Structure formats: C-alpha cells, structure tokens
Amino acid sequence: MLRLIFLAGLVFIVLMACSREPETQISMASPKTSLPANDPRPVILAFGDSLTAGHGVELPESYPSRLQKELDRRGLKYFVVNAGVSGDTTSGGLARIDGALDVHPKIVILELGANDGLRGLPLREARQNLEEMILKSQAAGAKVVLAGMTLPLNYGPDYIRDFEAMYGELAKKNHSILIPFFLEGVAAKAELNQDDGIHPTARGYVIVMETVMRSIEPLLEHPRDDH
C-alpha cells in the first residue's frame, strides 16, 4: 500500500511538511504544563514532529486533540498530551524524550523519522535514536505505538526500502505496535491537505486520528459494565 501511494508522485509535498522549521506558532505547551494537577486519568503521550503538533491548523484540530475528543466520546478515561514539535528529527526527539516522559504515560505514540529521511541522514542513526526512544518509553512503563513513514521515489529504491523497513523491524524487535503509514488515506489527496499542499487539513487530521485510534485500541482499558 505504501508503494502504491507513492506511485502517485504527490506525497512528496506532504512529507516535506516534516522537514520545515516552524513558520508560525505551534501552540505546544510542555508536557508538564499540559497535564492538569491531580488528574487521575492515565496519559497518552503523542510525541512527534509537525504532523503531531498540528502545523497549520488550530490546536483543537490537531490529531492529538481529535483523539482526546474521540476517547471522551467513547467514555474512555485517558488524557492526551501533545508533545509535537515542528521540524523535529529523531535526534531532537531523543534529546527531549526524558522530559516528555515526566508525565508517566501509559501509551506513547512515537511519530518521528521523516525529517531524517528527507535530509538524507544515515538511517543507522535514525534507527538508533528511535530505538532509544522506544526503550526509554518502555522503561518508563509505557506501551509504544510506532508510526511508520515513507519517502519520495527520488530518494532511490534502496534508501526508501531500508527507511520503510526500519519501522517494522524496530516495532517487531521491541514488541511495539506499528502504524504502517501514518498518513494512510490522507497523503496525495488534495482535498485533505491545506492550500500549501503540505499539511493535512482539519478533515485530514480526522483521518489521521482514526488511523491512530485503530492502532491504540488494543491497549486501551474499557470501562467495566457491572450491570
């Protein structure tokens, strides 16, 4: 499915979103200040780059905010913390993961690596950084959901193959849940991306949220029905 999406040739402009530094304010409070005092709900930490931060849309339209609304709608008592930073690479994520884990999440949705690939950085380094973040998250008591990505065709078949495979291999090795393609159903669809042709629209982020929700569902504790 990943290959078929990229044969359309349009997903390049979507992925370029991850490589750009923030052009406008992304309203991201730190995880510490995002967590209400004495809130008993277990935390889901959405940790990533601009696709997590919700670049270009209002914060309530980002996928973590949409995820919070969906959890609330279903009566699932979780608190979602948005720890997305536009332009972040795996090395940037590794540098800030310890602070983010201070909220003691039960689930970490790890969405990073596209910027490394778009910049042609060595995959060995990206793989190592992702694995360290997975292991740190697990050591902190969290289940990890790893969001897979892919790259434009002009990066060459070998690099793309190794980049795509990196996510599946890491998820299998470290007993994590894999989202094969984070932008499934959104990439290369003009009506689901902003006017700049780069970031998902509010509608696009609804689909991203649904993809994430399907992946985390096996990890969620549902209210007991005592009737």
Contacts of 124 (CB under 8 A, 6+ apart): none
**Which one of 55, 65, 176, 199 is the catalytic residue?**
199
Strand partners, 89: none
Q: What is the dihedral of CA 18, 62, 48, 12, to 10 degrees?
A: -20
Q: In what order do the strands lie in the sheet with 105-111?
A: 79-84, 43-48, 105-111, 143-147, 177-179
**Which one of 50, 137, 176, 215 is the catalytic residue?**
50
Residues 130, 110: Cα–Cα separation, whole Å: 8
Do 187 and 11 meet the contact criterion of CB atoms below 8 Å apart? yes
> Annotated catalytic, 175?
no
**Which one of 27, 39, 196, 222 is the catalytic residue?**
196
Give the closest residue to 115 by CA, choosing from 59, 28, 50: 50
Active-site positions? 50, 196, 199
